Amino acid sequence: MSLFPTRAEWDSARQAAVLETDSHEDMHAGELEVSILLSCRPGAIDDGALAADHLAGDRSFLLVHGMKAYTESGVIGRPSVATSAKGSIILDALAEAFADHLVALGAAGAA
What would the pLDDT profile of 73-104 be if each residue is shown by its tens digit?
999 999 999 999 999 999 999 999 999 999 99
Q: Assess contact for 56 and 72: CB atoms under 8 A.
A: no
Alpha helices in 1-111 (DSSP H): 7-16, 31-40, 47-50, 62-65, 84-110
34: three-class secondary structure by DSSP: helix
Q: Assess contact for 76 and 67: CB atoms under 8 A.
A: yes
Residues in contact with 61: Cβ distance below 8 Å, sequence separation at least 6, in sequence order: 69
Residues in contact with 86: Cβ distance below 8 Å, sequence separation at least 6, in sequence order: 17, 18, 19, 31, 35, 39
What would the pLDDT profile of 25-83 be if each residue is shown by its tens digit?
999 999 999 999 999 999 999 989 999 999 998 999 999 999 999 999 999 999 999 99
- Upstream peptide bond of 42 is cis (omega within 30 degrees of 0): no
A 10 A CB-CB count for 62 gives 14
Answering whether pTM is above 0.85, one says: yes
> Where are the domains positioned within the chain?
7-104
